[in-house]
Chains A and B, each alone.
Chain A
C-alpha cells in the first residue's frame, strides 16, 4: 500500500503587520488571562473547551474553512468535532490547545487591541497568516510555537470538516455534498455495480 502523497506545503506571503507589535507583547495583556468573553458561545454542551474557548476555536476554524456557496466550518460543526476528540483520541493535545488559545488571545490584544472574535474578517485572516508564518511578537509563543498551533488547528479543522459525521463534524454531510460524493453509502447498490466505466 502506498503512503499518502504530501503536496508541497506552501507558506503564504507574510504581511508586514508585526512591526508595531514587536517588543510590545505585554501591552494590554493580562498575563495568563483566560480566553476573552465576547458574544454568545456556540451551543454546547462542551466536554473539554470552555464556552469562550469554543467560540474562539470556532472563529479560527471558520477562517480555515469559510462559508461560501457551501457551508463552512461553523455550520459543519467543526468545533464540536474538536471538543469531542479532545475528550478522546486527541486528549494529548488538550494542554496545547489551552496554551495556544491563550497565546492567540494575547497576540490579538497586542496587535489589534481587541479579542480575535472582534476583529474584522481581513484582520483575522492577517493574524492567522502571521501565526502560520511564525511572524509573531516575541515572548508570547513559546510552547506551542505559533506555527505548531496553527498547523494543529488547521489539521483538526480539516478532519472535522471532511471526516465522518459520526465524530461530531461534517454535519449533514456538508463536505461530501460539496465534493459531489455520495453519502451515506448503501453497500452493494447499483453505483457499485462492479464495472468501472
Chain B
C-alpha cells in the first residue's frame, strides 16, 4: 500500500533533521522523518568502552553496522580501499534517532562572528576555496538562542571576553570545574589568558523534564543512562511527534530523491526494515543525513535535468569536505588530577581562536574528555614502551596524572577534498556508496603547530613535566564526526549548492539542513551550529509556506 503523501519528508533524524521536524510539525505541516537507524538508549550497549561512539574496535554502538554499510577511501596516491563503519577511515556519524547527539560529549558552541567572515578578514590561502558565509552571525543568533533553550544548554560567558554577543543567557548555569579544570583555570589565569566553563548540551540542573547530570566517567561516546544529556532524540523529536503532525520512521534507508520532469523533487525512495522498496511523496524534501551521506544521496538522484545528481549542475555537490584538524598536548603531573567526575572536559580558552598573526583563524582549546583505560593505552610520551612491565607501570602511575588539552583547528576548504559516489561498490541495498578523497590544506597544519605550542605553554604552567604535543599531518580525507561543507550555502549558484536558506539553488522544494551547509566549520565542535541551522532552514520554510505555498507540487 502506498504511503500517504505528506507536506515534508526529512531524511536523517540527527542534529539538523530533528530540529527541522519540530519547526515544521509545530507550524502544522505533515512531516515524515526518516532515519536509517533505530531508537537507542543506554541499555542497548551500556558503558562498554570497546563498543562506543569513540572506541569502535568491537563495532559501532550506535550504528551503522559493518554488515550492511561500507565506503571507499581514495588514498592520496589514487589507490582505493573499502572501509567498514567501525574502521577509522570511514568517518562515521552515528546512525540512530538523534545521531551523534545521543552519545556526544555535548559541547555547545556558538561559532564566533569572525568564523562567518574568514575570507573578508584574513584573505584566502592559496589552494583553498575559502569564502564567507552568506549569512552573518547576527542573523543566526536568534536560532542559536532557540537551540539553547529548546534543546538545553548549561553555560555562562562570564570570564570569556571573546564570547559572541547574545541577547539572552543560557537556560542552565555552567558546570563546576573538576580538579584538572581547576588546575588549568589557575594556570591560564597566571598566563593572562581567559578561562571559562565549556558550554554543554547537558543538564546542570533538572531541565526539560529530565534530571541533572550524574557525571559518569563514560559520558562522551555513550548514551546517558538517566537522559541528562540533551540531544534531538529526547527534546525536539519527541516535541515534533507530540504535535501529531510528525511520524518518525526508523530503519528507513533512503536511496534516491525522486525528481520530476519540471526540475522539482516529489519525494524519496527508501528501503524499509524488511528491505522492501518504498516511496514517500511530499511537497518538500529536506536532506539532513550528514556531510557525507547528504551529498551521496544528491549524487545518487539523477534525472534528465540533473544528469550529474540533484542540484549538481555546477559540480559543487560533495566538494569542500572538512572536519577539524585536531591537535593538542598531553603532560604528566606529579599528583593525581583525575576525579570521578565525567565527562572531563570542563574548562575552555578562546584566546587563540582569532587574531593570530599570519594565520587564518585558530582554535578553541579545552581540556579533554576522560580517556577510558583501553583508550589510554595509546596515550604515551614519545619513547615510552607500549607493552611489558613498563606499560603497566605507566598505566598505574599516570592514568590519573595525565593532563590533556586539545583544540579543533578550523580547516581551510579544499575543492578536491570531496565526496563522490563510487562507480562499482554498493551497500547491502545495492546503493552506490560514498567515496571520500582529498586531504587537508597545509595551512591547517600551520595553525595546529601554533595552537599546540600555546597548549604546551599552558601545561607547563600547570606543573606538567614530560609534555608531548600532537599535530596531525595532511592525512587522507578529513571529516570525522565533525564532517561539514559538502553542500555549502552561498549567494552564487556557480560556487555553492544552496542559497542562504539551505534551499538547493536549482530545485526550490529541496533543502539541506545539516553540517553540509557550513561554508567553514569554525574552530569549535559544530553540533549547536548545526542545530541552529536547523531552526534557520525550518523557519524559512514555514515563512514561505504560510506566505503562499510556493513549494506545493
Interface residues in chain A, defined as those with a beta carbon under 8 Å from any beta carbon in chain B: 1-10, 12, 63-66, 68, 70, 85, 88-90, 125, 128, 154-155, 157-159, 162-164, 166-167, 175-176, 178-182, 185, 187-188, 191-197
> Which one of B20-28, B211-219, B285-293, B490-498 is at the A interface?
B211-219
Question: Can you list 7 A-B contacts with CB-CB less than 8 angstroms, sorted by A residue number?
Answer: A1-B104, A2-B345, A2-B406, A5-B328, A68-B392, A154-B386, A164-B49
| Chain A residues whose CB sits within 8 angstroms of the CB of B175 once the complex forms | 196
CB nearest neighbor in A for B380:
A7
Q: Whole-angstrom distance between the alpha carbons of A163 and B58 in the complex?
A: 10
Q: Is the interface of B mostly helix, strand, loop or mixed?
A: loop
A5-B470, A181-B373, A196-B176 are known contacts. Are A64 and B388 too (CB-CB below 8 A)? yes
Q: Whole-angstrom distance between the alpha carbons of A72 and B13 in the complex?
A: 44
B470 and A1 within 8 A (CB): no
B214 and A192 within 8 A (CB): yes
| Chain A residues whose CB sits within 8 angstroms of the CB of B378 once the complex forms | 4, 6-7, 9
CB nearest neighbor in B for A176:
B373
Say how far B334's CB is from chain A's closest CB, in angstroms: 17
Q: Whole-angstrom distance between the alpha carbons of A68 and B391 in the complex?
A: 12
Q: Is the interface of A mostly helix, strand, loop or mixed?
A: loop
Of residues 190 to 213 in B, which have CB atoms within 8 Å of A's CB atoms? 212-213
B395 and A179 within 8 A (CB): yes
Interface residues in chain B, defined as those with a beta carbon under 8 Å from any beta carbon in chain A: 47-50, 53-55, 57-59, 66, 86, 100, 104-105, 107, 175-179, 182, 212-217, 220-221, 225-226, 326, 328, 330, 339-341, 345-346, 368-369, 371-389, 391-392, 395-396, 399-400, 404, 406, 408, 468, 470, 480-482, 525
Q: Whole-angstrom distance between the alpha carbons of A1 and B99 in the complex?
A: 13
Say how far A161's CB is from chain B's closest CB, in angstroms: 8
Q: Whole-angstrom distance between the alpha carbons of A10 and B100 in the complex?
A: 33
A1 and B214 within 8 A (CB): no
- CB < 8 Å neighbour of A197 from B55, B176, B400: B176
B50 and A163 within 8 A (CB): yes
| Chain A residues whose CB sits within 8 angstroms of the CB of B406 once the complex forms | 2, 5
Extra contacts, 14 of them, besides A9-B380, A193-B214 (Cβ < 8 A), are A1-B53, A3-B480, A5-B328, A5-B470, A6-B378, A9-B378, A10-B382, A10-B384, A164-B49, A179-B400, A185-B47, A187-B214, A188-B226, A196-B176
A89-B59, A162-B49, A192-B216 are known contacts. Are A12 and B385 too (CB-CB below 8 A)? yes
Q: Whole-angstrom distance between the alpha carbons of A174 and B107 in the complex?
A: 33
Q: Whole-angstrom distance between the alpha carbons of A148 and B226 in the complex?
A: 41
B368 and A5 within 8 A (CB): yes
B339 and A197 within 8 A (CB): yes
B341 and A196 within 8 A (CB): yes
| Chain A residues whose CB sits within 8 angstroms of the CB of B47 once the complex forms | 164, 185
Q: Whole-angstrom distance between the alpha carbons of A8 and B341 in the complex?
A: 27
- CB < 8 Å neighbour of B48 from A4, A64, A164, A175: A164
| Chain B residues whose CB sits within 8 angstroms of the CB of A12 once the complex forms | 385
Say how far A188's CB is from chain B's closest CB, in angstroms: 6
CB nearest neighbor in A for B215:
A192
